Structure 1
Amino acid sequence: METLLFDLDGTLYPLDNGYHIHVRQNMWRFMSDKLGIEEPEKVWRPLFQKYNQSAKGLRVGGGYEFDLEDFWTSVRAGAADFIKEAPPGVKSALEKLPQKDKYVFTNCNEVEAEEALALLGIRHHFKGVIGAKAMGETCKPDKAAFEGVLQSVGADPAKTVMFEDSFKNLVTATSLGMATVFVQSDTAREEGVGSVELDTVDAVVCDLSEEELRAKAPWLWVGDR
C-alpha cells in the first residue's frame, strides 16, 4: 500500500466528544436564522440522508441559496471547545505507518478541517486535505468524488487505503479497488450497518491507535491484505 486516505469526523477523532452534536445544533440555528426554515432538524435529516453532506442537501435538494463560506464558518464554529489533542496511540500510528502519502479526505470544508487537525496536533502527518471546496458539486460517497481525489493525489486505487466511519463511503472505495478500514462510531448505528455489511471491509477497528491497527490490519505494514 502506498497511499492512505483518512476521513476526519468520527475517524481521526471520536464523535462522542460532543462536537458532532454541537455542529448539528449550529446548523439548525443557521437554517432557522439565515434561511428562515421552520423545524430545521426535520428539514435537514432527509436531505442529509439523500445527499450525504448538509450544504449539498440544502442547496441541491432544498433549493436554498447561501454563502458557502458563511455556512461552514457558522456550522463548524466552536471546534476548540470540543476537539482536543489526539491520544498518543493515534499519534503513534500516524507516525509509524510506513506510507508517506497520507491525506485527509472529508466532506467538511478545508479551512475547518485544517483547524480540527491543528487542534488534534496531527496536521504535520498529512500531505494535504481534500474537502468540500475541492470537490465542488460532489461529495462522498459519490464515485466522482473518489475518482477526483485519486487523480488529484496521483494514487493507484489498488495501492490505496480508505479509513472511514461511514460504511456507505467504504462501499464506493471498495468498488474502485481500494482497501478499507472501518472505524466504529455512532455513524454505523445511524446508517444501520450490521455484521453482514462489515464482512465486506478489510478491517474493523475501534480507533486508529497503533495497537488496534497492528492487531486488526497488520497488512498496513507488510503491504499484503
Structure 2
Amino acid sequence: MRGFSHVDTWVFDLDNTLYPASCRLFDQIDVRMGEFVSRLLGTSYEDAKKYQKTLFHKYGTTLRGLMVDHGVNPDGFLDYVHDIDHTPVPANTRMDAALHALPGRKLIFTNGTVAHAEKVLARLGITHHFGDIFDIVHSDFIPKPERPPYAKFIAQTGITPQNSAMFEDIARNLEAPHALGMTTVLVTSPENHDAQIVNSTSGGIAQPHIHHVTDDLTGFLENIVKSRSGS
C-alpha cells in the first residue's frame, strides 16, 4: 500500500469529503437542482428529479447536461443551487490542527463553486490552509471525472502529481488522479452511496485505482501526521 512520505501537495474535494455527509448539505443542493429543472422544463418536481439523475449519470453533473441539452446559462444555475443554509457544517478544530501539521500545499478541487467552497471552509474554520480553490468555472464547466479538468488543474496549480494526494468521496473521480500518478484516498460514509465500494467486514479495497479508504478524514490526517513525525 502506498504511503505518504513523498507527498508535498494535498488536494481535497469539498462536498461530503471535508465535511461529513451526515451534515446533509448536499441534500439541500440536490433539492434546489430538482426545483431548477422543474421550473426550466415545466414538469413536476418528481419527474424533474428523475431527469436530473439521468443527466448526472450521463454527463457527470446536472449542470453539464443542462448546458449541453438545453443551453442553460451556468451562472444562473450555480447561483440558484448553492443558495443554501451552510450552518449544518460544524467547526472542526482537529482538522484545523492536522492540516497545520501537514507540510506542503493544500488545494481544493471541486465540481462546486468558489463561493460555495469559501462558505464551507469558513464554517469548518480551515480557510487559511488553502492557497487555491479550483472550481467548476475553472474547469470550463467540464466536471470530474472527465480528464480535461484534471489536466487543467495540474497546469494551473503547477503541482507534481507523483508527489500529490487526492481525497475524494466519489470513487470514479479518483480514476484520473490514480492514472496521473497521485496517491488516492476515498472518503466514505453510510450516508454517501457514491463511495460504497468497500467490504466493511474485510476492509478490502474493491478497485485498484484507490490506494486508501477512510470513514474518518480527520483521524486519517492525524495518523499521516504521526507517521511522518515518527511518533
> Could you state the TM-score of these two structures normalised by the residue count of structure 1?
0.86
Question: For 2:51, which of 22, 43, 52 is the aligned residue?
Answer: 43
* Residues 83, 103 of structure 1: alpha-carbon distance in 2 compared, 3 angstrom cutoff: same
Q: Which structure shows the higher helix fraction?
A: 1
1:113 aligns with 2:117: yes
Alpha-carbon deviation of 1:21?
Answer: 1.2
Aligned-residue offset at 1:207: 2.3
Question: C-alpha distance in 2, partners of 1:3/1:10?
Answer: 20
Equivalent residue for 2:159? 155
Shift of 1:218: 6.1
2:37 matches 1:28: no
2:77 alignment counterpart: 71
Alignment of 1:138-177 (within 5 A): 138-177=142-181
Once the two structures are TM-superposed, the CA of residue 37 in structure 1 deviates from its matched residue by: 3.8
Partner residue, 2:23: 17
The percent of aligned pairs where both chains have the same amino acid is 29
Distance in 2 of aligned mates of 1:35 and 1:106: 27
Q: Structure 1 pair 77/52, CA: closer, same or farther in 2 (3 Å)?
A: same
Q: CA deviation at 1:204?
A: 1.5
- Which structure 2 residue ranges, 5 or more long, are not aligned? 1-6, 200-204
CA deviations 1:108-160 (Å, max 9, x no partner) are 02222222212222111100100011001422111111111011110111111
Distance across 1 between alignment mates of 2:179 and 2:191: 21
Contact 1:141 1:168 in 2 (8 A): yes
Cα offset, 1:8, TM superposition: 0.1
- CA 1:91–1:198 in structure 2 vs 1: closer, same or farther (change >3 Å)? farther
Q: Does residue 93 of the first structure (1) align with residue 98 of the second (2)?
A: yes
Match of 1:197 in 2: 206
Point out 4+ residue stretches in structure 1 off by more than 6 angstroms. Answer: none
When residues 177 and 152 of structure 1 are mapped into structure 2, their CA distance, relative to the original with a 3 A threshold, is same
Give the 3 Å change call, closer, same or farther, for CA 125–77 of structure 1 in structure 2: same
- Mapped partners of 2:80, 2:190: distance in 1: 24
| Correspondent of 2:215 among 203, 206, 210 | 206
The one-letter amino acid paired with 1:10 is N
Gaps of 5+ in 1: none
CA distance in 2, matches of 1:122, 1:67: 31
Of 11, 15, 29, 1:5 maps to: 11
Q: What amino acid is aligned across from residue 50 of structure 1 in structure 2?
A: K
Q: CA RMSD in A?
A: 2.2
Instruction: Call closer, same or farther: CA 1:218–1:116 in 2, change over 3 Å.
Output: closer
Q: Which amino acid aligns with 2:63?
A: A
